[in-house]
Structure 1
Amino acid sequence: MREFAWIGLALLFSVVTYCTIGGVYAETPHAADSLEVPNPTTGFQTSYTNRGPIFILSDSDFSSYGFPGTGDKNSPYRIEGYSITDSNFELIVIENTEAYFVIQDNYLNSITSSLDAIYMRNVKNGRVYNNILVSNRHGIFIDTGCQSMNVTSNLVWDSSQSGIRINSSSDVRVYHNDMHLNTYNGIWANSSTNLDIWNNTVYDDELGIWLRNCNGSQILDNTLYGNDNALWISHNSNSNNILFNRIFDPDDVSPNTCGIHLSHNAHDNSILNNTVSNSTEHGFYVEATSGNNTIKWNTFIGNNLGGTSQAFDAASVEVLYNYWSDWTTPDDDFDQIVDIPYSLEGPVMNDDPFPLTKPANPPEFHYLTPVTILHPNGGESIPDSVTIQWTSCYDSRNHAVNYSIYFTHNSGADWEKIVGNLTTNQFEWDTTAELKTTHYLIRVVAECSEGLTVSDESDGEFSLIAHTLSDPTITSPTTSGPFDTSLMIGWNDAVDSWDYTVRYSIQYSSDGGSSWTDLTSGLTGSSYQWDISEVENGEDYVVKLIASADGGLTSEAISVTFSIQHGTTPGGGDGDMTLVFVGVGAGAVAVVVVLVLAIRMRGAVET
């Protein structure tokens, strides 16, 4: 039965394929051939036989204790069904053996968390299966010289150091275990090779899985959350495959601090097809000494919120074809690759040149990618309307997504709904009736058809400005005249606070402003040439300039009082030019010649 289970696992992973930009990639994990993998447990034993600690220092000791089995592959010695609690000794110690054995269905508690529950050294062909290990120093410690070991379906928690520790060993499989609330590490492997760490759940530890000076190993299909570093590869750990791991909190209660961390000369590692979500810091972090690693086809969702990037690279690693939830547009050529590279934090200024618009391997959990407000996002002065814009959300289960928009005019103290059930990523908001303040924020809430929501608010406050129209200023006429045949009327423009078009009309009065006559309207320039040749003479003329803007606003200006006198020499007023030439002759006799040149403009023309 166990043989068939392993074959099933091998077949399952050998057919895993996923989309790439150049074809189809298939990854088949390697496996040691000396041990079969049993089916994952469906539950733990509920009754045990009490006994004291067990010390096996050679193959013959198994028989001396009277454990059932013969020690060969088909009939391993069985240490099973015991409850061992002791604060003075390690609970099960096995050293220097090659006989096949299994430690299964036991309850092990060292009470003070100062001793190991299971300690093995220089051991081959051992299996640790379906045990409960509580309040120990290490739940399971596989120490120097161990080979062909299998640790499967154990529950390990409240260890003062590590749930499972592997040191200076090889060909060790760690499958389907649950490790949590261990003070330092869920799984710590040091100076070991050819490890298979598959399908474990590790949470609420300082480090989830730590490879230190380990080579040729596979970290596959694990779930890690609530850890400071979910997955740390360090200290000359080279040529390892980190595949299909889920580094996120499914309930969004206890996120990881950092997703994947490479440091201290970790080289040639392949980090492929992992999902890293909601880490409070970076989704992956690569220190300067750890180059030549490949980070490809991963899904990064909502990590390092508030930072400039979900990833940090100080070593120029190869970063290609990853999905970044905060970088999904534009894709103008519809090739499912964002047209602009995704920038990483770090001194080498690396980027992902081919960020994907959707995950290469959609995560099995349901999520919405974050929504981000694009405009208004702080600092804007909004007139009568504004186009609110935001990024579209991706639903991992392809549910329909609707958007609702809210605003506050008092820095978030109160929120009002503008509109709901939108399916586009922009909306034209008419603000003419809203209170004019400088403390506005926008909130966009995205919700899928099953009620999952994400939201975003403007990064800073923006203003709604009142609609005003300043007064124009008349620049001509500025003297009292008299004027004869033509008068230039000029002005400085009125300013509309909402940038509406301003048009001008002109009236004149011959009685100092008591009554008015329309002269012209619909002007958009800043001057008008008035033909006054047919206007009656008078001493009390004024002109009124009226500015009008869309929305009904008007403002005006009135000129100085001036006179119109036909057939007389003007008094230096606007519209005529006088040239005076003075000559001095011999004998100090002055001859004054006055030449009056009147430039008469016939007809009124706007300039």
Structure 2
Amino acid sequence: MKKINIYSLICIVGFLFLLSSLNNPNTELMAELVDSDSIRILSDADFITFGFPGTGTVEDPYIIENFDVYSIDINTEGIYVFNTTKYFVIQNNEVTHSFYGILVQEVAPGTGKVLDNRCYACKHDGLAVKESSGIIVSGNVLENIVSATALLVDQCSDITITSNVISGCPISGCGMYACDNLTVYRNTFKDNVYKGITAASVYDSVFYENVFEANGEWGLEFTETSESNLVYHNNFIDNCPLFLAQARDSSGNNIWYNEALLKGNYWNDFSGSGPYAIDGHEGCCDLYPLAEPMNFDEEPDETSFTYLLITLLSLPIIYSIKRKSE
């Protein structure tokens, strides 16, 4: 009887381990990418013409996914969505050899998401959002763009930019122009020839928990036309070795710390006392520079909670088996 109980205990533990593995996204097989020429959506009807799954509602958006896009004409877009009103998601695609890797332009407010794509070796911008609002740009890898920026946000509002990796660009990693109410967080801007981000005529936006590292000039630059932006809890590491500071604010009307928390940003060249001076407008500074870099903990995933719940529910069974075996 004792052997049977021990065997049952082993089975339960094995079952829990197997269930955890099946629910872990890291163990899922990645879908194979399908080779494709450029994909151009110029009206709502084109979603149907291409045969993308979905109906275009907020609950059931059109899905453009799992394509390996290589444009025959390098002067065209890899994936282009223009002048649409339906909801759509562009996700898990790889785009190269195109003018823009992915371009979203003049779409209805809040209808688009661009998630988990990789754009590289594009002739102009890797990913661009123009003349749109309420778009989410998350989890993309944008690298080694040939002649412009990895991410372009132009004449937009209420754009969320998060968890993207932007590197190896010949100009700025990200260019933002004539925008307001941007939320930029948890991104990495690294190893770009000039700036991590250039923000011109950008207003009322927040930049937090980003990493700006080893960019040739400033990690983040506000031109003289950018105002009322908030910058805090970012890590600035080894940017612009030829300048006095790792960021520039030419207007002087942006805030480089969180006034409620009395905390600013981490600068690895900070002397350790007083404020951190920002290049540009006289007197611009981070009043509360951090002594240690921010540690951006990963958000708990669904798998962790599932495994924990199953384990807790199984404890009485395990305890009962253990009691009977004694």
TM-score of the two chains, using structure 1 as the length reference: 0.40
Post-superposition Cα deviations, 1:444-478, rounded to whole Å, max 9, x if no partner, equal xxxxxxxxxxxxxxxxxxxxxxxxxxxxxxxxxxx
The answer for the alignment partner of 2:15 in structure 1 is: none
The answer for the alignment partner of 2:92 in structure 1 is: 130
Partners of 2:142 and 2:27 in 1: CA distance? 15
Partners of 1:194 and 1:41 in 2: CA distance? 35
The answer for the alignment partner of 1:441 in structure 2 is: none
Q: Aligned with 1:185: secondary structure?
A: coil
The answer for the alignment partner of 1:299 in structure 2 is: 266
| 2:84 partner letter | V
Partners of 1:135 and 1:53 in 2: CA distance? 10
Deviation at 1:102, TM superposition (A): 1.1
Asked if residue 118 in structure 1 is aligned to residue 79 in structure 2, the reply is yes
Match of 2:131 among 145, 168, 174: 168
Asked if residue 193 in structure 1 is aligned to residue 157 in structure 2, the reply is yes
Q: 1:207 to 1:71 in 2, by over 3 A?
A: same
The answer for the alignment partner of 1:284 in structure 2 is: 247
Asked if residue 362 in structure 1 is aligned to residue 324 in structure 2, the reply is no
Deviation at 1:112, TM superposition (A): 5.0
Q: Aligned with 2:150: secondary structure?
A: strand
The answer for the alignment partner of 1:210 in structure 2 is: 175
Q: What fraction of aligned residue pairs are identical, expressed as a percent? A: 20
Instruction: List alignment gaps of at least 5 residues for structure 1.
Output: 1-38, 76-99, 250-254, 303-323, 329-337, 366-607
Post-superposition Cα deviations, 1:485-511, rounded to whole Å, max 9, x if no partner, equal xxxxxxxxxxxxxxxxxxxxxxxxxxx
The answer for the alignment partner of 1:241 in structure 2 is: 206
The answer for the alignment partner of 1:46 in structure 2 is: 32
The answer for the alignment partner of 2:9 in structure 1 is: none
Q: 1:120 to 1:43 in 2, by over 3 A?
A: farther
Q: 1:74 to 1:246 in 2, by over 3 A?
A: same
| 2:135 partner letter | V
Equivalences for residues 87-102 of structure 1 within 5 A:
100-102=61-63
Q: Aligned with 2:74: secondary structure?
A: coil
Q: 1:164 to 1:276 in 2, by over 3 A?
A: same
Partners of 1:350 and 1:52 in 2: CA distance? 48
| 2:208 partner letter | L
Q: Indicate conservation of the 8 Å contact 1:201/1:224, yes or no.
A: yes
Asked if residue 141 in structure 1 is aligned to residue 103 in structure 2, the reply is yes
Larger Rg: 1
Q: Aligned with 2:282: secondary structure?
A: coil
Q: 1:243 to 1:43 in 2, by over 3 A?
A: farther
Post-superposition Cα deviations, 1:258-290, rounded to whole Å, max 9, x if no partner, equal 211000410000011110100124311111xx2
Deviation at 1:210, TM superposition (A): 1.6
RMSD: 2.8
Q: Indicate conservation of the 8 Å contact 1:40/1:152, yes or no.
A: no
Match of 1:232 among 183, 187, 198: 198
Deviation at 1:144, TM superposition (A): 2.1
Deviation at 1:256, TM superposition (A): 3.9
| 1:144 partner letter | E
Post-superposition Cα deviations, 1:139-176, rounded to whole Å, max 9, x if no partner, equal 11111244321000001001111111111100000000
Equivalences for residues 415-564 of structure 1 within 5 A:
none
Structure of greater relative contact order (alpha carbons < 8 Å, 6+ residues apart): 2
Deviation at 1:110, TM superposition (A): 1.2
Q: Indicate conservation of the 8 Å contact 1:232/1:262, yes or no.
A: yes
Q: Indicate the structure with greater strand content.
A: 1
| Regions of 4+ moved over 6 Å | 39-43
The answer for the alignment partner of 2:70 in structure 1 is: 109
The answer for the alignment partner of 1:581 in structure 2 is: none
Partners of 2:180 and 2:26 in 1: CA distance? 26
Partners of 1:52 and 1:347 in 2: CA distance? 47
Q: 1:286 to 1:74 in 2, by over 3 A?
A: closer
| 1:271 partner letter | V
Partners of 1:353 and 1:55 in 2: CA distance? 48
Post-superposition Cα deviations, 1:556-583, rounded to whole Å, max 9, x if no partner, equal xxxxxxxxxxxxxxxxxxxxxxxxxxxx
Partners of 1:110 and 1:265 in 2: CA distance? 37
How many residues get paired? 259
Q: Indicate conservation of the 8 Å contact 2:195/2:217, yes or no.
A: yes
Q: Aligned with 2:189: secondary structure?
A: strand
Partners of 2:150 and 2:63 in 1: CA distance? 22
Q: Indicate conservation of the 8 Å contact 2:209/2:294, yes or no.
A: no
Asked if residue 265 in structure 1 is aligned to residue 225 in structure 2, the reply is yes
Deviation at 1:113, TM superposition (A): 2.7
Deviation at 1:131, TM superposition (A): 0.1
The answer for the alignment partner of 2:301 in structure 1 is: none
Partners of 1:211 and 1:156 in 2: CA distance? 18
Q: Aligned with 1:193: secondary structure?
A: coil
Q: Indicate the structure with greater helix content.
A: 2
Q: Indicate conservation of the 8 Å contact 2:77/2:102, yes or no.
A: yes
Asked if residue 219 in structure 1 is aligned to residue 184 in structure 2, the reply is yes
Q: Indicate conservation of the 8 Å contact 1:120/1:146, yes or no.
A: no
Q: 1:41 to 1:182 in 2, by over 3 A?
A: farther
Deviation at 1:62, TM superposition (A): 3.9
Deviation at 1:257, TM superposition (A): 2.5
Q: Indicate conservation of the 8 Å contact 2:187/2:211, yes or no.
A: yes
